Amino acid sequence: MIFNQTEEQEREYLQSVISIVRGVVANTDHSVKEHVDTLQEYKEYLWNNKDIDPQEIRSMRESILNLYASGESVISKRARIARIIDNPYFGRIDFRKEGEKGSATPIYIGVQNFYHRKKCANLIYDWRAPVAGMFYDQETGEAGYQSPSGAVRGEISLKRQYRIRRSCLEFMIESSVTIQDDILQKELSANSDEKMRNIVATIQKEQNRIIRNMDAQVLIIQGVAGSGKTSIALHRIAYLLYAMKGGLKSSDVLIISPNKVFADYISNVLPELGEETVPESSVGEIFSGVLNNKYHYQTFFDQAEELISDPEPAFVERVIYKSSFEFVSLLERFIIFVENNFFNAVDLKLTDHITIPAEYIEAQFRRFHRYSMRGRFDAMADYIVEMAYTDCGIAVSCSDRRKLRQKIKGMFAGNDDIEVYRQFCKWIGKAELFKLGKGRSLEYSDLAPLAYIHLALEGNVNVSKVKHLLVDEMQDYTPIQYKVLKMLFICKKTIMGDMGQTLTPYSRSDADMIKKVFTDGVVMKLCKSYRSTYEIADFARKIKVVQEMEPIARHGDKPVVVKYGSYKEEISGIVGLINDFRGSSYESLGIICRSEHVAAEMSEQLGDFVDDLTYISTQSASFSRGAVIMSVCMAKGLEFDEVIIPCMDGYKSDSDSGLLYIAVTRALHRVTLTHSLGKND
């Protein structure tokens, strides 16, 4: 007999589960009130009894601290349980283990686990639990999963999916295979949210394999536009936090994201999954930190903007060369050259009567080869002082020891990172490779090699405590940047991106190039594109050929190209499109421009005609709902119900096809491209 066979029975069961959850929340509220009342009593007691014994005061304060800690735990538990009420679960499998008699056990699967103490049973299983993996990967019939105690085999006799919103069952679907297309279509047809949402109800088999991969030291995910790679990577983090509870905390994870806006856009996913948000940073911030934040530097977006906007050929050549493996190889060889040639020992007077020969000092520099080059000076000074006392009975003062260290340090010609970098460029016959920008700022492409030189000579003195590194937009980083990340983070990594979404053809990496740096890397691919309609995806593939893209069969309007007689008419036409959007059911509109310059100018001009249009620049720190205008660089990773791409005539070169491809693939439902006979970028 099937438990809750009919839809009506399922509705009744849902309400019974919600009633139980609400009861637990009410009890928790009572517990919170008790904590608050007790704390108030303790405080009043201390206030009214100021002459009590100091030992009692310490005891009371300790009790108050314990109450605070337990109270915070209760409040956290309440918040976690309360989230279940709106949407307790999304799926169910009925599973019977081999050898078990009677009916199969119904297993309801939701965002988080809910255990009912009175029934001594799980009413809801966390989607990350081993048994829940069968919901994503296996069909009805023979099935099994790997539990902590070993393999479990059995049979799935029923598989259901539910759409529950605001505690009401909207519909349920019987499914004999993996995640039912009907549910997926309904979710994909919905409008975009203000921020990225979790996708636990529609995780596909190939996505689930990536999420639950526990073996790969470095997992490299190549995913086409709209394949959900960032969302999948965040769900992977949530899974690892669950599977490694006690060994991995949110604070042990670091996300390298392209910008603050994108970081804000994805900030909801982990809390929705019951986990705390994880720290976030950028490659520029990390490398600048290695260099003790001593230098002003061009940001990644500044570099991209310069490369997009008619750059000087010499600048392009510098970026291209510093993005090559040849550059990395020569830099590695140069570090060996520095060790063999940059320490020039000279005779050194330890006292008025004792001179240390240059040969002896040179021998000590080689003797301490296990230290970093700049880390040897203290060890050398200490050893020489120790030998002076042991062999000659001469005691050296602390002051003289410090002077000795400084003199030894002065024999090394590699104490200044910038100067070493200049010497490297001359050594390879490309002195022009290093050029300071306006205000003596570093070019973005110089940050990584300078950080590499610093780490190679100084040593990684501040070993990172990060236990899992997540790198997004992998195609935008170069081999030397990956080399530095490898030196900094000796931990497991998830690296994801899409070669089809490179901003420029001058500095980029694909999965195979990344594997040259991380030789233990495992490449997994996501080829299905879920974001855009088939018509939009097909249009995008004509702009830039992406052989591996498999658009899902969700249909909608074809992208429209509109030509205007003048730039002024184009602005007026875009104003009309914005007004049409506001009269539609869509909730988000992205006006995506080729460059930051065009976006800023168009934002100013459109602002004269429309209200509530948000300009998101490279300086912005948060994502906004409604109608926004931004550059292609800032739009990467985001999605909108509708996209308008103005000044299409500005996309002139073959390399611009990548920018246009990125802009088009931001759209879920509708794309309009405009151009005119007048002004362009």
Q: Is 296 left (phi over 0), alpha (psi -120 to 50) or beta?
A: beta
First to last CA, the chain: 68
pLDDT of residue 311 exceeding 50:
yes
pLDDT value for 354 = 80
| Pairing state between β 348-349 and 355-356 | antiparallel
| Residues 191-231: tens digit of each pLDDT | 666 678 888 888 888 999 999 999 999 999 999 999 999 99
- Mean pLDDT, the chain, whole residue set: 89
Q: How confident is the model at residue 681 (pLDDT cuts 50, 70, 90)?
A: very low
| Residues 594-615: tens digit of each pLDDT | 999 999 999 999 988 998 899 9
CB distance 172 to 2 below 8 Å: no
| Residues 403-422: tens digit of each pLDDT | 899 999 999 999 999 999 99
| Residues 535-564: tens digit of each pLDDT | 999 999 999 888 788 888 889 999 999 999
pLDDT value for 271 = 87
Separation CA 583–CA 428 (nearest Å): 61
H helix or E strand, kind and range, residue 446: helix 444-458
Of 96-105, 213-222, 283-292, 481-490, which gets the smallest average pLDDT? 96-105
Neighbouring residues of 397: CB distance < 8 A, sequence distance ≥ 6: none
Q: Sign (positive/negative) of CA torsion 593, 599, 605, 607?
A: positive
Q: How confident is the model at residue 42 (pLDDT cuts 50, 70, 90)?
A: low
Helix (H, G, I), strand (E, B) or coil at 680: coil
For residue 43, the one-letter residue type is K
Which residues are paired to 445 by β-bridges?
none
More confident residue, 677 or 362: 362
CB distance 196 to 231 below 8 Å: yes
